[in-house]
Amino acid sequence: MLAFPVIDIQPVAIGPAQQQLANAIGDYDILLFVSRNAVEGALRFIDCRRLKQSARLGVIGSATRVALAAAFAAGGIDLDDCLVAAEPYNSEALLQSQALQQVEDKRVLILRGQQGRNLLGDELRRRGATVDYAEVYRRALPQSTAADFNRLVAAGFPTLVILTSAEGMNNLVELVDEAARHSLCRIPWLLISERMRESALKLGHNAAVLIAQSASDNGIRQTICEWAGQR
């Protein structure tokens, strides 16, 4: 397996906006973390001991819950009632949680990267909640070059590409040269959602598309095993 990172996760600078959020963290009834990066970014300036005792925490994906449990352990926060999105581990699944059905007059904080999807907040507002966003990390194009990619695949070009976001797909085709881009578009891509399929087509991909059984490591692994077994 070859690893070629296509998204660089960077911390946001801690300024007045972050300090204001840290001071007001005890005002929120529900805090939703969209990823492990959101957990790590938020805990750089949020003191979990300042949360109100009744605050509910929610995550998208079990891996994010593990990160949250580790981060909050020192503060004595009980995560037994943490809201966890079911498969396919996305905003739509988290919105099905029973605790998010009646949120009128609740204050909700969504912790995410910059320019994330607005579906979660839009729907919770429609249900009567007051929603704030906190961008606690940034995604950037890595410093890798086309030459780096070519060296990586010199011993053998991959037969399957695994991509977990539309942004990652866009970055991949930007980071490689025209010859590599052409070759990549002619081999199967494994994606984590049907929503990504259209993005792949727009980028010129014209080979088979596999959709992971779920957007988890296990779901991706199972899909790879099935694909390999059918070859």
Q: Are residues 128 and 20 in the same domain?
A: yes
* Token code pair at residue 18: 């972050």
How many Å apart are CA 138 and CA 11, to the nearest integer? 6
Using omega within 30 degrees of 0 as the cis cutoff, is the peptide bond preceding 11 cis? no
pLDDT at position 76 is 58
Helices (H), the chain: 16-24, 36-42, 62-72, 91-94, 119-126, 146-152, 166-175, 178-184, 194-202, 217-230
pLDDT at 171: 97
Residues 187, 99 share a domain:
no
The helix/strand/coil state of 16 is helix
Residue 61 pLDDT: 79
Condensed to tens digits (0 to 9), the pLDDT of residues 156-189 reads: 999 999 999 999 999 999 999 999 999 999 999 9
Q: Fill in the DSSP letter of residue 213.
A: S
More confident site: 72 or 110:
110
- Per-residue pLDDT, averaged over 213-223, amounts to 87
> Cβ(186)–Cβ(206) under 8 Å?
yes
pLDDT in tens, 115-140: 777 899 999 999 999 999 999 999 99
Specify if 2 maps to a domain: no
Q: Are residues 25 and 120 in the same domain?
A: yes
Cβ pair 57, 82 in contact under 8 A: yes
Return the higher-pLDDT residue of 87 and 211: 211
pLDDT category at 67 given cuts 50, 70, 90 is confident
Predicted confidence (pLDDT) at residue 1 exceeds the cutoff of 80: yes
pLDDT in tens, 22-66: 999 999 999 999 999 999 999 898 888 888 888 999 998 778 888
Report the pLDDT value the prediction gives residue 39, as an integer from 0 to 100.
93
| pLDDT(75) > 70 | no
Half-sphere exposure of 214 (CA within 13 A, CB side): 15
Contacts for 11-15: CB closer than 8 Å, 24+ residues apart: 11/41, 11/44, 11/137, 11/138, 12/41, 12/114, 12/135, 12/136, 12/137, 12/138, 14/44, 14/45
Number of domains in the chain: 2
Render the burial of 161-175: b for 16+ CB within 10 Å, e for the rest: bbbbbbbbbbbbbeb
- Please tell me the distance from the alpha carbon of residue 57 to that of residue 39, in angstroms, as a whole number: 11
What whole-number distance in Å separates Cα of residue 46 and Cα of residue 51? 9
DSSP structure string for 60-75: SSHHHHHHHHHHHGGG
Picking from 140, 175, 201, the residue at the C-terminal end of a domain is 140
Residue 33, domain member (yes or no)? yes
Please choose, from the candidates 122, 142, 120, 105, the residue with its C-alpha nearest in 3D space to the C-alpha of residue 38: 120
CATH code where residue 42 lies = 3.40.50.10090
Domain boundary among 107, 140, 173: 140
Query: What pLDDT was estimated at residue 225?
Result: 95
Same domain, 115 and 164: no
pLDDT higher at 151 or 84: 151
CA dihedral 107, 94, 92, 114 (to 10 degrees): 60
Q: Does the residue 113 lie in any domain?
A: yes
Structural domain that includes position 153:
146-230
- The reply to whether 158 and 112 lie within a common domain is no
Mean pLDDT of 73-93: 76
Evaluate if residue 80 carries a pLDDT over 80. Answer: no
